[in-house]
Amino acid sequence: MSEPLPDEPVRIADHDLNDLVSTVNRLVTETQRQSETIARLSSEHDGEGAEESTSLADPSAEGTPTEPEGPSSIFILALAGTAYEEELKALGTWVERLLLPVYGREITTGRPWCFEWREHPEAIARLHGLWLAWQQFTDTEAGLAGPATWHRDYLDPTWLQLRAPDGPFGACTTSPARRSHRLLAAPDAEVG
């Protein structure tokens, strides 16, 4: 016999909840893609797919979607609008509640940091990639060596790039007593 469910709600820490939301969104998107692929392959296999596969190849065909539903990538730079803002907010929670308190270390000229990191596109991209890897390698399916792999393969190289004197924060805060923020100019693309 199963035990009755407790009357009290389950409590989940905020940082765990953000990770859970991101993981569920990723799984829903992947499930939708797989369902569409299975449906397409099934109809082609049954011999009914000749007309459907033609209409799928022709985006002007009536009633066919021109783009798959949901984002084409879970990477933050591929998102836009509300999806981008929600992902950036969840990333900010992880950075400020877990990453910086545990791994932040002292700010120096050799290890600059920017308190306005959300305004540095390179920092957003690198931190988001680091967060995605953290979600994967701290999951129980990653096994016992998952966290060590995350430290070695993701945290250490990312942190070295972000906090390098010539990294994206090179012109920002180099002393905790003197907060500063400045975006470095990107090279102009040559049109030729």
pLDDT digits (tens, 9 = 90+) for 126-140: 999 999 999 999 999
> Would residue 47 be called left, alpha or beta, if left means φ above 0 and alpha means ψ between -120 and 50 degrees?
left
> Taking the CA atoms of the chain, what radius of gyration do you get in angstroms?
22
Whole-prediction pTM value?
0.61
18 compared with 88, residue with greater pLDDT: 88
- CB contact set of 68 (below 8 Å; sequence gap of 6+): 32, 33, 36
Looking up tokens 């090179």 gives 170
CB 168 within 8 A of CB 162: yes
CB 64 within 8 A of CB 39: no
106-135 exposure pattern, b = at least 16 Cβ within 10 A, e = fewer:
ebeeebbbbbebeebeebbebbbebbbbbb
Say how far apart CA 116 and CA 180 lie, in whole Å: 9
Which percentage of the chain shows pLDDT scores above 90?
47
Say how far apart CA 171 and CA 164 lie, in whole Å: 11
Task: Please tell me the predicted confidence (pLDDT) of residue 167.
Answer: 93
CB 120 within 8 A of CB 168: yes
Task: Please tell me the predicted confidence (pLDDT) of residue 99.
Answer: 96
Q: How confident is the model at residue 179 (pLDDT cuts 50, 70, 90)?
A: confident
Task: Please tell me the predicted confidence (pLDDT) of residue 57.
Answer: 40
